[in-house]
Amino acid sequence: MRKLILLLFFFSLHILHAQEYFPTDSGVKTNKNTAFAFTNATIYVTPTEVLKNATLLIKDGKVDAVGKNVKIPEGTITTDLKGKTIYSSFIDAYSGFGISKPKRAVSRSRGVQYEASREGYYWNDHIRPDTNPISAFKFDSKKAKDFINAGFGVVNTHMQDGIIRGNGLLIALNPNASDAYRILNTKSAQYFSFDKSVQSRQAYPSSRMGAMALLRQTYLDADWYAKGNMKNKDMALEALNANKNLTQIFETGNHLDALRADKIGDEIGVKFTIVGSGDEYERVSDIKATNANFIIPINFSNAYDVSNPLLAQQISLRDMRKWNQEPSNLSVLSKNEVNFALTTHKLKSTKSFHKNLQKAITYGFDETKALAALTTVPASILGNSSIGNLKSGSHANFIITSGNVFDAKTSIYENWVQGAKNIVSDMTIKDITGDYMLSVNNKNYQLSVTGSGAKQKGAIKQGDKKIKSKFSFKDDWIAITLNEDSGYTRMIGKVINSSNLMEGTAFDTKGNETTWSASKKVANSKKSSKKKKGADNNALTVMPVSYPNIGFGNYVQPEQQTILIKNVTVWTSEDEGILENKDVLLKDGKITQIGKGLKARKALEIDGTGKHLTAGIVDEHSHIAATSINEGAQNSSAEVTIEDVVDPTDINIYRNISGGTTTAQILHGSANPIGGRSAIIKLKWGENAESMIYDDTPKFIKFALGENVKQSRSSNGTRFPQTRMGVEQMITDYFTRAKEYDALKKSGQPYRKDLEMETLAEILNKERFISCHSYVQSEINMLMKVADKFDFNINTFTHILEGYKVADKMAEHGVGGSTFSDWWAYKYEVNDAIPYNAAIMHNAGVTVAINSDDREMSRRLNQEAAKTIKYGGMSELEAWKTVTINPAKLLHIDDKVGSIKEGKDADVVLWNNHPMSIYAKVEKTIIDGKVFFDRAEDTKKRVAIKEEKSKLINMMLNEKMNGGKTKVPMKRGDINFHCDTLEELKN
Amino acid sequence: MKKIIYSLLVFFCIGNIVAQQTPADKQSTAISIEGATAHLGNGEVIENSLIMFNEGKITFVGSAMLKIARMGTVINATGKHIYPGFIAVNATLGLAEIDAVKASVDVDEIGINNPHIRSLIAYNAESKVVESMRPNGVLMAQITPRGGSISGTSSIVQLDAWNWEDAAIKVDDAIHMNWPSSFTRGRWWLGEDPALKPDTRYGKNTDDIKMYFANAKNYLAGQKSTINLPFEAMKGLFNGSQRLFIHVNGQKEITDAITIAKNAGINNIALVNAEGAESVTDLLVKNDIGVVLERPHRNPNSEDDAYDYTYTIAKTLTDKGITIAIGMEGQMERMNTRNLPFYAGTFSAHGLDKEDALKMITSNSAKILGVSGMVGTLEVGKDATLFISEGDALDMRTNILSKAFIQGRDISLETHQTELWKRYSNKYKSE
């Protein structure tokens, strides 16, 4: 508190309205009247407490009384608001108001910056809880005016920079006062995002998953610091601990990020208020399940200009739907009882706020909820009960409107903030709209006045002929200039008190003075034909949301069925080999029976005659379904996990199941020797990330050796290690430290919890397995020796193209090999890669899998398996195992998947042909007994996409033809993720 | 199956381990192959066939039931399959050895218009990647420079030679150009949205091409007082002796490319990649323009495309009467060129008749490359460039070659890779 007073004192030095104890040098001290009464108004004390014909009495910037029987003290200036409405001014809980974004840091050298720039703070520059934006705050009068005009009285602001961004300021939008009065709170909340600070070029984290891991570690460290265990001073952690009891607001870029933020919050014990993105309708049940408070923007996009069909066909259904569906977001959220406030955040102009909100209301958003989302909800999120309502004692922040504030025709007249008036549109301006007979110089004209308030416009005609003219109505004076062939006639005059008559003086073309008058002809009736047609008043048909909400998504999630596949050739991937003419029964998500003449009640029967049934393909090495693949800004990133960034909206999930792949290990990339943890997922198209990840998933981590990790193709590689020699030492160092860490942990003494060390200790304790990207024999041999030294085994070498050179050593070590069928020659270390690799390793007793590392190859791994027959002569049975049971074994999920065996998961694929024939096509892909791919359904989906696009194109054309704004067609950006992909999807 | 492998192993073990395979000598005796199923490459299949060739040329194609004299060495290929050598179009074999090692890469010259840049002289006949083509039946290729607006001049080679001069089947067969896209991608590395937006410079870019064609034509018709090498190199385009391969994607771009080229007096045209060609088939048929399709083993271009779009396109275009072949341009294209037969197989799995799919890598490619008088089918008088496979050569399970001939020469099916295979298989066997 004392600090606050000091601050206030500081700010008051350069302001006009001095505080009462400040000396006055400009004249004598005067007292200003601060009491006002507003009578006969409809008053929204809260969104649900509405008083008709009531009085609002304010004094000294606060609400003194509100009600029907308020006694107005003497000396109070009273305004009669008959027919008008008073609402509490709105609150924007999320903005950067008055705090300009910091400048982007310039590069200090050509190389990558690994270390922090700041001293005395956390090791990572993007953690900036110490940011106190008060020193950067400058009341932005222009922006404030925009807010005031839109009805806002209070905005919450902060420095929008960094992952942890420090505290924020709550500002009353009172241009008439000084910061000393209008700063309501200097520690209004603490802010977060997944985006790095621009003030530092420190490379870590380079990915979403890195940012998530960093947040977790920061909280662990803050705790450790709070307990006094750190020797150094860390002003960032101190600030984080000091901000602990504030509202914690997390900005996110899409609904998947919102779920990620919430997940982290649950882990670290922080209930984040999440700044959403407007796409929450895509997974509203998951959003609801977070139980978080949300702050939702309403920056609706414009329709695409689809008038050029060649351009229009580039737009994805996903992007077209966004335009169609997003106006329904608020309605969907509120029907699902998600608690949210509204924000102007992301709007290009505050002016479009009401237009968009009105649009949302026409799409079914409840007005009372809208009012709450602008007043009481943000107030409660910010923990401030004296704003957002007009109860006695609250700030006198209120707007006076001509009627329902959510009606397009309504004007906001005044917006009072802290008891000070701001005029938005003059409510004393007369309404002079109507049709008049105008007489001047013995001639008659028709004058018609339209518009409202200060913007009333007049147009003049003579008969059917339009006359060039100028009309203005200001300060109660009407000025008209007629421009006829003969010259100009000028008129000035006023409306005669409360009658329908205008009168005044005119100057004719020769400058002779005369009089003019205009009398109203008929009662003002707005012609409906003049109304802008535009689609804004009518909600369009909202296309149904599919899961995921893109082309080929499922409107209804596949359900578990009892399925009986009859008379089919079964590739068991077990010792039984191939079984002809068998029936396979799938029930409750499991393979329950394999036999002949099977029967099951209510089963979906599929005739398998002439067809082949196999276990679903397992891809040991995939990079689909993730928004990022590498956290390459450090040589070890054991703290990150792909599970954090699984992207269930990736079309490649669908394309993979169309090729029979049902399980994939989504591996971290190969940017660093110790990579991140894997996500092992079932490709259950349409389900969310959480349900795709295996239950009790085996724990895996990616390691990598060779050219990629030593930055061979980077022009500015400066990170250790730069050689294979360095790689050995780096990995040994990490395991040495992990061993010491684990010993300390097990000893029961206090220790600083380190997520990276935790992960590595799991490896030492044989709880987590390594899948190591590797190519040449030297490095393969090396890593096995390092593992031996620490008494564990490498689980899998992936890629392992020179595995054939050390296959005997691999077999002895007990490591598996997951390789490409025939890739080589793309870099120096694969010069000796041969397609016979799989066969040689297999013959030497190594468990061999064929993997993809490529989203295209992963949809035809059956063909890649077939190549082991051509190259090296593997038998068909063994070849088939390289994409089913073998990778399942390598992933420690062979008890669940990888073969057709009673009791295993019902993950099977029905093929029209020998599964390794080049001519084979998938008929059905079933996971957990649910049909996720069906060729007949796929054909229907293609038709549906075409039809829906056509409907949307018509809607967009209609929007354009009726004057709606449009934008240029765009084709979605796309990243083909491989091991060495460093970029990220921003959706 | 195992037997074949072991017999192959034994067969290979006789040879010495050397860095590259020695090109085979000229055909000295006639060879007759009988009993195989012959896939002629023109759609015809002869069961129990007899194929004879001498001095590098095919002398007989017919049924083994015919009681005529077998010339020279007789190979019994009963139960096997015989194919004309596969031809890879729009390939860069021999222009680079290791993609990531810049010093080994000669694919893309700087500059915008490089019609005078000739691929043939950089073609490394001894490339280890080149020799890995032969065991899969890929015996010929069009070697194509990449990059720029006009990339340069390609040549057609056979894949068993001492040097580029010997390798050449047709020197400077065609000129390749990359048609500008009407879209441009946001520079994500500068923080821009990576989405594709209409490229406002498209009109200017196409106009630049028009001007370049016009200037070349003017130059060739004029005094040529100062010799202009790029324009000289374009002579064949205007007299029709060289084909212009336009690498182009998009309905609009394809239409513009054909119109602009034809207006400039270039009538001998083929399209490469040509995504969107299915929407302008009438134009292609009318102008008799063939299409070199992209490899089917790639992802569809956009999210809403059918998962099998890249697989079914061959059937779609064939049904419209368009001559199609398969090109190699794309990621890791050199090493992947050996998968050419399986690309054809994939097109066949998704609708195309098997023999039509085979045409894509034999007679159709020869047609599009303008060498159908010489190669591309098993027909009398053509080069004896052919191979014997254990089974269907479009299916990886059965694409196992026992013999291959280029111009009648009995070529090695060994490679750097088969040698390592043998070496390490033997290592473990002896342990």
Residue A434: band (very low, low, confident or very high) from pLDDT cuts 50, 70, 90: confident
* pLDDT average, residue stretch A558-568: 98
Mark yes or no for CB contact A844/B397 under 8 Å.
no
Mark yes or no for CB contact A949/B431 under 8 Å.
no
Nearest-by-Cβ selection for B195 from A652, A869, A972: A972
Mark yes or no for CB contact B188/A971 under 8 Å.
no
* pLDDT average, residue stretch B25-29: 97
Greater confidence, A29 or A57? Answer: A57
**Tens of pLDDT along B397-428?**
999 999 999 999 999 999 999 999 999 999 99
Residue A57: band (very low, low, confident or very high) from pLDDT cuts 50, 70, 90: very high
Collect all residues of chain A within an 8 Å Cβ-Cβ radius of residue B195: 970-973
Query: Which letter, b or e, does each residue of A499-518 get, where b requires 16 or more Cβ atoms within 10 Å of its Cβ?
Result: ebebbbebbbeeeeeeebbb
Contact B212, B181 (CB under 8 A): no
| pLDDT at A152 > cutoff 50 | yes
Ramachandran category for residue A388: left, alpha or beta (phi over 0 → left; psi -120 to 50 → alpha): left
For residue B19, give the chain A residue with the closest CA. Answer: A832
Mark yes or no for CB contact A855/B299 under 8 Å.
yes
* pLDDT average, residue stretch A755-780: 98
Q: What distance in Å separates residue B402's CA from the closest CA in chain A?
A: 12
List the 871-930 stretch of A: residues with Cβ below 8 A of B: 871-873, 875-876, 916-921
Greater confidence, B98 or B11? Answer: B98
List the 655-674 stretch of A: residues with Cβ below 8 A of B: 655, 658-659
* pLDDT average, residue stretch A764-786: 98
B425 touches chain A (CB under 8 A): yes
For residue A933, give the chain B residue with the closest CA. Answer: B307
| pLDDT at A531 > cutoff 80 | no
Collect all residues of chain A within an 8 Å Cβ-Cβ radius of residue B196: 314, 970-973
Q: Give the ipTM.
A: 0.95
Q: Which helix (H) or strand (E) holds B282?
A: helix B281-286
Collect all residues of chain A within an 8 Å Cβ-Cβ radius of residue B128: 825, 831
> Can you give the pLDDT at residue B375?
98
A840 touches chain B (CB under 8 A): yes
Kindly give, in sequence order, each residue whose CB lies less than 8 Å from that of residue B226, ignoring residues fewer than 6 positions away.
none
> Can you give the pLDDT at residue A522?
63
* pLDDT average, residue stretch A499-513: 84
> Can you give the pLDDT at residue A13?
40
| pLDDT at A535 > cutoff 50 | no
Best to test chain B binding among A315, A652, A870 (most B CBs inside 10 Å) = A870
- Spatial separation of the C-alpha atoms in residues B420 and A803, rounded to whole Å: 12
**Tens of pLDDT along A77-103?**
999 999 999 999 999 999 999 999 999
| pLDDT at A15 > cutoff 90 | no
Relative to beta strand A848-850, strand A816-819 is parallel
Single-letter residue type at A956: M
Q: How many beta carbons lie within 10 A of that of residue B16, not counting itself? A: 7
Relative to beta strand A398-401, strand A412-416 is antiparallel
Greater confidence, A656 or A29? Answer: A656
Nearest-by-Cβ selection for A870 from B298, B302, B400: B400
Contact B9, B425 (CB under 8 A): yes
Greater confidence, A839 or A482? Answer: A839
Collect all residues of chain A within an 8 Å Cβ-Cβ radius of residue B185: 973
For residue B296, give the chain A residue with the closest CA. Answer: A856
Nearest-by-Cβ selection for B303 from A311, A318, A916: A318
Two structure tokens written together for A160: 């929008």
Q: What distance in Å separates residue B190's CA from the closest CA in chain A?
A: 12
Mark yes or no for CB contact B302/A316 under 8 Å.
yes
Peptide bond into A750 cis (omega under 30): no
For residue A945, give the chain B residue with the closest CA. Answer: B304
Peptide bond into B180 cis (omega under 30): no
Query: Which letter, b or e, does each residue of B114-141 get, where b requires 16 or more Cβ atoms within 10 Å of its Cβ?
Result: bbbbbbbebbbbebbbbbbbbbbbbbbb
Q: How many beta carbons lie within 10 A of that of residue B43, not counting itself? A: 14
DSSP classification of residue B427 = H
**Residue of B430, B418, B429 whose CA lies nearest to B11:** B418
> Can you give the pLDDT at residue B3?
53
Residue A758: band (very low, low, confident or very high) from pLDDT cuts 50, 70, 90: very high
Mark yes or no for CB contact A942/B306 under 8 Å.
yes
A526 touches chain B (CB under 8 A): no
Nearest-by-Cβ selection for B304 from A316, A863, A917: A316
Q: What distance in Å separates residue A336's CA from the closest CA in chain B?
A: 30
| pLDDT at A577 > cutoff 50 | yes
Peptide bond into A648 cis (omega under 30): no
Nearest-by-Cβ selection for B399 from A828, A834, A870: A870
| pLDDT at B19 > cutoff 90 | no
**Tens of pLDDT along A876-927?**
999 999 999 999 999 999 999 999 999 999 999 999 999 999 999 999 999 9
What DSSP letter does each residue of A190-250 carry, written as one string? EEE-SSPPTT--B----SHHHHHHHHHHHHHHHHHHHTT--SS--HHHHHHHHTTTS-EEE
- Spatial separation of the C-alpha atoms in residues A375 and A934, rounded to whole Å: 50
Nearest-by-Cβ selection for A856 from B100, B299, B345: B299
Between the CA of residue A492 and those of A449, A507, A513, A514, what are the distances in Å? 16, 9, 11, 11
- Spatial separation of the C-alpha atoms in residues A799 and A901, rounded to whole Å: 29
B100 touches chain A (CB under 8 A): yes
**Tens of pLDDT along A666-694?**
999 999 999 999 999 999 999 999 999 99
Collect all residues of chain A within an 8 Å Cβ-Cβ radius of residue B300: 655
- Spatial separation of the C-alpha atoms in residues A151 and A88, rounded to whole Å: 9
For residue B421, give the chain A residue with the closest CA. Answer: A836
- Spatial separation of the C-alpha atoms in residues A290 and A262, rounded to whole Å: 6
> Can you give the pLDDT at residue A2?
54
| pLDDT at A619 > cutoff 50 | yes
* pLDDT average, residue stretch A347-364: 95
Largest CA distance in chain A: 114
- Spatial separation of the C-alpha atoms in residues B259 and B252, rounded to whole Å: 11
Two structure tokens written together for B216: 């070349």
> Can you give the pLDDT at residue A537?
55
Determine which of A15-29, A344-358, A723-737, B138-152 has the lowest per-residue pLDDT on average. Answer: A15-29
B298 touches chain A (CB under 8 A): yes
**Tens of pLDDT along A691-712?**
999 999 999 999 999 999 998 8
> Can you give the pLDDT at residue A16?
42
Collect all residues of chain B within an 8 Å Cβ-Cβ radius of residue A314: 183, 196, 302
A936 touches chain B (CB under 8 A): no
Nearest-by-Cβ selection for B342 from A713, A918, A968: A918
B22 touches chain A (CB under 8 A): no
Nearest-by-Cβ selection for B100 from A550, A827, A870: A827
Look-up of token digits 């009372």: A368
Mark yes or no for CB contact B303/A942 under 8 Å.
no
| pLDDT at B39 > cutoff 90 | yes
Mark yes or no for CB contact B299/A655 under 8 Å.
yes
**Tens of pLDDT along B113-166?**
999 999 999 999 999 999 999 999 999 999 999 999 999 999 999 999 999 999
Between the CA of residue A468 and those of A436, A449, A482, what are the distances in Å? 17, 15, 6
Residue A717: band (very low, low, confident or very high) from pLDDT cuts 50, 70, 90: confident
List the 378-417 stretch of A: residues with Cβ below 8 A of B: none
Determine which of A46-55, A508-517, B196-205 has the lowest per-residue pLDDT on average. Answer: A508-517
> Can you give the pLDDT at residue A539?
73
| pLDDT at A419 > cutoff 70 | yes
Query: Which letter, b or e, does each residue of B395-424 get, where b requires 16 or more Cβ atoms within 10 Å of its Cβ?
Result: bbbbbbbbbbbbbbbbbbbbbbbbbbbbeb
| pLDDT at A502 > cutoff 60 | yes
Nearest-by-Cβ selection for B99 from A805, A825, A844: A825
Q: What distance in Å separates residue A133's CA from the closest CA in chain B?
A: 26
Collect all residues of chain B within an 8 Å Cβ-Cβ radius of residue A840: 421, 424-425, 428
Collect all residues of chain B within an 8 Å Cβ-Cβ radius of residue A831: 98, 128
* pLDDT average, residue stretch A614-639: 95
Q: Mean pLDDT of all residues in chain A?
A: 93
Nearest-by-Cβ selection for A973 from B128, B188, B348: B188
Q: Is B224 helix (H, G, I), strand (E, B) or coil?
A: coil
List the 946-985 stretch of A: residues with Cβ below 8 A of B: 949, 968-976, 983
Ramachandran category for residue B409: left, alpha or beta (phi over 0 → left; psi -120 to 50 → alpha): beta
| pLDDT at B105 > cutoff 80 | yes
> Can you give the pLDDT at residue A829?
96
Collect all residues of chain A within an 8 Å Cβ-Cβ radius of residue B200: none
**Tens of pLDDT along A588-602?**
999 999 999 999 999
Mark yes or no for CB contact A836/B421 under 8 Å.
yes
| pLDDT at B14 > cutoff 60 | no
